[in-house]
């Protein structure tokens, strides 16, 4: 697997959190520090910073994965879900921070596609991030 530095990645706090002491569920922020499985710092525009376990911090899946899911399963999904996934894929292709922010916002607004377009920041990626800092 390629070493991927997650610092600076736009992320979404899991929209369906049961315990939400910071009241930031469903908010989009920037991952500032991926420290461990239980401590990942996210900065929110105008709303400070908070930390979350890795499973509660979601990022967009690779656009190729979204494309393949649309190609293989698009005909069997509801039209609104297909449109939302297609928009996300197009925004990811654009690659700007504004486009990625918009893609995360679409994912947040469409619970039916969240599992298809979002993934938690993985422990393996965080370990590789820690190794890159150790060099």
More confident residue, 117 or 39: 117
Structural contact between residues 108 and 26, judged by C-beta atoms closer than 8 angstroms: yes
* DSSP conformation letters of 38-90: S-EEEEETTTEEEEE-GGGEEEEPPHHHHHHHHHHHGGGS-HHHHHHHHHHHH
- pLDDT above 90 as % of the chain: 52
User: For residue range 66-101, what is the model confidence (pLDDT) as tens digits?
Assistant: 999 999 998 999 999 999 999 999 999 998 999 999
Poorest-confidence range of 7-21, 103-117, 121-135? 121-135
pTM confidence score: 0.81
User: For residue range 49-61, what is the model confidence (pLDDT) as tens digits?
Assistant: 888 888 889 999 9
């Amino acid at each position: 697997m390629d070493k991927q530095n997650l610092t600076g990645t736009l992320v979404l706090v899991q929209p369906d959190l049961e315990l939400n002491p910071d009241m930031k569920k469903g908010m989009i922020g920037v991952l500032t520090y991926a420290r461990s499985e239980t401590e990942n710092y996210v900065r929110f525009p105008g709303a400070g910073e908070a930390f979350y376990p890795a499973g509660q911090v979601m990022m967009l899946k690779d656009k190729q994965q979204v494309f393949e899911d649309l190609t293989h399963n698009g005909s069997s999904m509801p039209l609104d879900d297909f449109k939302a996934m297609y928009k996300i894929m197009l925004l990811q292709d654009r690659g700007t921070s504004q486009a990625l922010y918009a893609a995360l916002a679409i994912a947040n607004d469409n619970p039916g596609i969240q599992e298809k377009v979002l993934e938690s920041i993985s422990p393996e990626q965080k370990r590789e991030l820690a190794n890159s800092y150790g060099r």
